[in-house]
Structure 1
Amino acid sequence: MTTLGTPGGFFTLADPVRPAGKAGNGLGYRWYDPDRMVLGKRMEDQLRFAVCWWHSFCWPGTDPFGGETFDRPWFKGDPMQGARQKVEAGFELFRLLGVPFFTFHDRDIAPEGATLAESDRNVRTIADLLAAKIEAGGPKLLWGTANLFSNRRFMGGAGSNPDPDVFAYAAAQVKTAMDVTKELGGENYVLWGGREGYETLLNTDLKRELDQVGRFLNLVVEYKHKIGFTGTILIEPKPKEPTKHQYDFDVGTVYGLLCRAGLDKEVKVNIEQNHAILAGHSFEHEIAMASALGIFGSIDINRGDNLLGWDTDQFAMDVTELTMMCVEILKAGGFTTGGLNFDAKIRRQSIDPDDLIHAHVGSIDACARALLAAEKIITDGTLSGHVADRYAGWDGAEGKAMLAGERSLEDIAARVHKAGLDPQPKSGRQEYLEGLLNSYL
């Protein structure tokens, strides 16, 4: 009789999913081939997929109007025993998918105890199991983080909380999570999860809270250097949920927050599609903005529902949008320590464990197909050529001189009058370029 974590145990699939033509189990990747070379790198190294712990193994299928729909063995009985079961199921899923990374919150991998000391012991107990699995050839840790939003103590935020003891508790929780992330060889550490903000100015000292958040960020960066953690510190922009006015609303807001704290050279962003849409932006806009500001780090890959106004965290399947994502990532120089983390949920009616496999396989294939389309766009150069032509005037002598501060306002005005300049607008050719994009898909 099979047990949880062995082939035929929690999942019915026994053999790993292979690229098309190499599959022996009837389920294969049509587009994803880890060893295929794309713009000088293996496809696996370009995309750097990670499976998240929380949605995959901790979410019970609830929504605002309904209870649990998933019947998982670790939802019952002793919480620590359940945490151990999740480790077995998790690394079995990683093996079947063939992904190189995974991610976790501290409260995902181990239950919260009656005290912080007990919670820390629980996290370290499970972290030892994770270390053994990694050592045995399992996937690496892309990033770890601390859950500073679920417990009721954080209802007023963590770093931004009006109670300094909550600030202190959050700092202590982050310390342990950072220690564990470093010990497990994590390549990044992520901050926040949604409650750094406020609901009404009637009870809020805005400047004080911004000062607190800035100090919290500096504490984290100081500790990173103290312990010799060489990974990247990331902040995840997150608008609207659950707090109405978020201090980490979007990439631009986070950049302002980092500049105010003097950390714009120390911290980067972890961007999520669903959060970009909720902030009123496109996914590719947020990536391009992060790249332009020099803070692009990593991505949580999912999608929202255009008919709903909240974070549905569905698996990303839109190849056109994903192609734009890949183009912007490649233009930014590609990932260094970051990657594509599947911060995504199967639907609450997808109750079979194998639905987790099919969801990841479908989204991995969509991303791989998008990467190949992006490779064509980058290699062909037609699209980038149109952008270069549109700004070509700025590469001329006067354009460069104005940007370099070599021309005063008077100098510029004098040249306009002397040369009799009468510049005329030129077409941005948006529709042509949209059709060009479709030709690569």
Structure 2
Amino acid sequence: MSDFFAGIGKVPFEGPESDDPLAYRYYEPARVVLGKTMEEQLRIAVAYWHSFAWPGGDPFGGQTFERPWFDGGMEAARLKADVAFEMFSILGTPFYTFHDRDVAPEGRSLAESSRNVREIADIFAKKQEETGVRLLWGTANLFSNRRFMSGAATNPDPDVFAYAAAQVKDALDVTHRLGGANYVLWGGREGYETLLNTDMKQELDHAGRFLSMVVDYKHKIGFPGTILIEPKPQEPTKHQYDYDVATVFGFLQRFGLEKEVKVNIEVGHAVLAGHSFEHEIATAAALGIFGSVDANRNDYQSGWDTDQFPNNAPEMALAIYYILKAGGLTTGGFNFDSKIRRQSLDPQDLIAAHVGGIDICAKALLAAAAMTEDGGLAKALKERYAGWESAEAQAMLGSDLETIAARVDREGLEPQPRSGRQEMLENWVNRFV
């Protein structure tokens, strides 16, 4: 045990009237919402990297945080593990997530790096047994080291491709051993800055082959979890091969992986792609590849991925509504890929940020559940598309242009537009949020 969170007890539920910044106002893990407990509906996870590995830097300034585990090799990594599981217990969160390089220092070789990760995994295994906290997903950091400056799976150097493959194998092994519910591939460096030095087709083919190898290895070792890709646009690479959900689906179809791989959708990435969070969720659900989500937000004035904690319940309510409409989360969860601000220096700030973000998700869940139970949006949607329920309309989908054109001529069809009722529906949503 450490004394990093000394004086901070387990976060209680105190209800909407509470003014305690370290108490939940809406998150009641055991409260049943639409047939599942709130804990089961949200499956909250704490992200190891932003909470324990991020030093507080940004593109224009260096480290602002001073953490006792930032320096000191494996001894510091062991202390970081103690602090992490203390925070999970304080928050009462059921899951956590990590990259391999978050949990243990990189060694002088891949073999040494992997030994370091396995040693910390031994600690994780014991702490999971003691606390009941589980691993939502693991992943490999294929972007921080300078060897990945031109990508990992899409790197023009075959030795970098090989190194990345070996690193992913080791990370997937550890994720499997710890009972991870998913394994994520984050392709922040999988893209290019200029076509002048890029063979796009070759890089796409290599990315597809790499992912196929990951799927093959998953089945070989009997990993029961879901393989996830996290769509990521424009940062840090200018043109990325996994730009948004629709782009990822096209990629998966091209390589025959659309039944094997799903997506982990992040709020901030959706915004950078010019979409809303709920749009990306609904797209993934429509295409059959919805898997998991990252809960955060961007500063809409900054124009880059600021990874702030979520604080907008109405926005999150719509996202959760479409998650519920898609059948809810299965192996996925709400991972807090969020970081406190560079000026938020105290341990209490880290706890308060998670408390607030978790409460926003809980409040949004209650609103989304109320919208679902009311059924007003579903009813309006059914009415708008009611014409397609007729036998004649359905038969048209199996017909041909000539037959359809003949019917239009024969019946003298002159269809008139009908209101989409957008403002009325927006007003309806506002009744619940």
- TM-score by shorter chain over 0.5: yes
Residue 70 (str. 1) matches residue 65 (str. 2): yes
Which residue of structure 2 aligns with residue 409 of structure 1? 401
Which residue of structure 2 aligns with residue 435 of structure 1? 427
Which residue of structure 1 aligns with residue 303 of structure 2? 309
Which residue of structure 2 aligns with residue 52 of structure 1? 47
Question: 1:199-257 deviations in whole A, cap 9, x for unaligned?
Answer: 11111111100100000000000000000000000000000011111000000000011
Question: 1:250-279 deviations in whole A, cap 9, x for unaligned?
Answer: 000000110111100000000000000000
Superposition pairs of residues 72-151 of structure 1, within 5 angstroms: 72-76=67-71, 78-151=72-145
Taking the aligned partners of 1:123 and 1:86, their CA distance within structure 2 comes to 13
Contact 1:233-1:266 at 8 Å conserved across structures: yes
Taking the aligned partners of 1:26 and 1:421, their CA distance within structure 2 comes to 62
Taking the aligned partners of 1:214 and 1:86, their CA distance within structure 2 comes to 35
Which residue of structure 2 aligns with residue 353 of structure 1? 347
Taking the aligned partners of 1:224 and 1:88, their CA distance within structure 2 comes to 30
Question: 1:16-44 deviations in whole A, cap 9, x for unaligned?
Answer: 11211699x88321111011110000010
The number of residue pairs the alignment matches comes to 432
Which residue of structure 2 aligns with residue 38 of structure 1? 33
1:75: Cα distance to partner? 1.4
Residue 224 (str. 1) matches residue 218 (str. 2): yes
1:64: Cα distance to partner? 1.1
Amino acid in structure 2 at the alignment position of 1:59: W
Question: 1:295-322 deviations in whole A, cap 9, x for unaligned?
Answer: 0000011000000111000000100100
1:137: Cα distance to partner? 2.3
Amino acid in structure 1 at the alignment position of 2:293: I
1:14: Cα distance to partner? 3.6
Q: Secondary structure of the equivalent of 2:173?
A: helix
Taking the aligned partners of 1:165 and 1:187, their CA distance within structure 2 comes to 30
Taking the aligned partners of 1:13 and 1:322, their CA distance within structure 2 comes to 32
Amino acid in structure 1 at the alignment position of 2:64: T
Please, which of 403, 407, 423 is the counterpart of residue 415 of structure 2? 423
Taking the aligned partners of 2:341 and 2:21, their CA distance within structure 1 comes to 23
Amino acid in structure 2 at the alignment position of 1:167: F
Contact 2:22-2:351 at 8 Å conserved across structures: no
Taking the aligned partners of 1:323 and 1:192, their CA distance within structure 2 comes to 26
Taking the aligned partners of 1:21 and 1:337, their CA distance within structure 2 comes to 29
Residue 292 (str. 1) matches residue 290 (str. 2): no
Structure 1 gap segments, 5+ residues each: none
Root mean square deviation of aligned Cα: 1.4
1:26–1:429 distance in 2 versus 1, CA, 3 Å: closer
Contact 1:95-1:138 at 8 Å conserved across structures: no
Q: Secondary structure of the equivalent of 1:29?
A: coil
Taking the aligned partners of 1:21 and 1:435, their CA distance within structure 2 comes to 27
Contact 2:89-2:131 at 8 Å conserved across structures: no
Which residue of structure 2 aligns with residue 377 of structure 1? 371
Contact 2:57-2:64 at 8 Å conserved across structures: yes
Taking the aligned partners of 1:265 and 1:256, their CA distance within structure 2 comes to 12
Residue 319 (str. 1) matches residue 333 (str. 2): no
Q: Secondary structure of the equivalent of 1:134?
A: helix
Taking the aligned partners of 1:243 and 1:212, their CA distance within structure 2 comes to 17
Amino acid in structure 2 at the alignment position of 1:432: M
Q: Secondary structure of the equivalent of 2:106?
A: coil
TM-score by length of 2: 0.98
Which residue of structure 1 aligns with residue 158 of structure 2? 164
Q: Secondary structure of the equivalent of 1:74?
A: coil
Residue 153 (str. 1) matches residue 124 (str. 2): no
Amino acid in structure 1 at the alignment position of 2:155: N
Structure 2 gap segments, 5+ residues each: none
Taking the aligned partners of 1:137 and 1:362, their CA distance within structure 2 comes to 23
Q: Secondary structure of the equivalent of 1:142?
A: strand
Q: Percent identity?
A: 67
Q: Secondary structure of the equivalent of 2:69?
A: helix
Amino acid in structure 1 at the alignment position of 2:50: H
1:138: Cα distance to partner? 3.7
Amino acid in structure 1 at the alignment position of 2:126: A
Q: Secondary structure of the equivalent of 1:269?
A: strand
Amino acid in structure 2 at the alignment position of 1:275: H
Which residue of structure 2 aligns with residue 28 of structure 1? 23
Amino acid in structure 2 at the alignment position of 1:391: Y
Q: Secondary structure of the equivalent of 2:224?
A: coil
Q: Secondary structure of the equivalent of 1:349?
A: coil
1:185: Cα distance to partner? 0.3
Contact 1:197-1:244 at 8 Å conserved across structures: yes
Which residue of structure 2 aligns with residue 178 of structure 1? 172
